[in-house]
Amino acid sequence: MKLAIIGLGRMGGNMARRLRAADIEVVGYDNNPDSARELADEIGLVATESLQHTVELLEGPRVIWLMLPAGEITENTIESLVPMLEKGDIIIDGANSNYHDSQRRAQRLSQVGLRFVDAGVSGGVWGLKNGYCLMVGGTADTVAVIEPVLKALAPAPDKGWAHVGPVGSGHFTKMIHNGIEYGMMQAYGEGLALLENKKEFNLDMAQISELWRHGSVVQSWLLDLTAGFLQNDQTLEGIAPVVPDSGEGRWTVVESIDQGVAAPVISMALAMRFASQEDNSYGDRVVAMMRKAFGGHAVTKKD
Catalytic residue selected from 42, 86, 87, 181: 181
* Residue 174: active-site member: yes
Q: Which candidate, 23, 22, 290, places its Cα nearest to that of 154?
A: 22
Catalytic residue selected from 174, 190, 196, 248: 174
Residue 27's Cβ-count burial label (10 Å; 0-12, 13-18, 19+) is: buried
* Residue 2: active-site member: no
What sign does the CA torsion over 92, 97, 103, 105 have? Answer: negative
Q: Where in the sequence numbering do the catalytic residues fall?
A: 174, 181
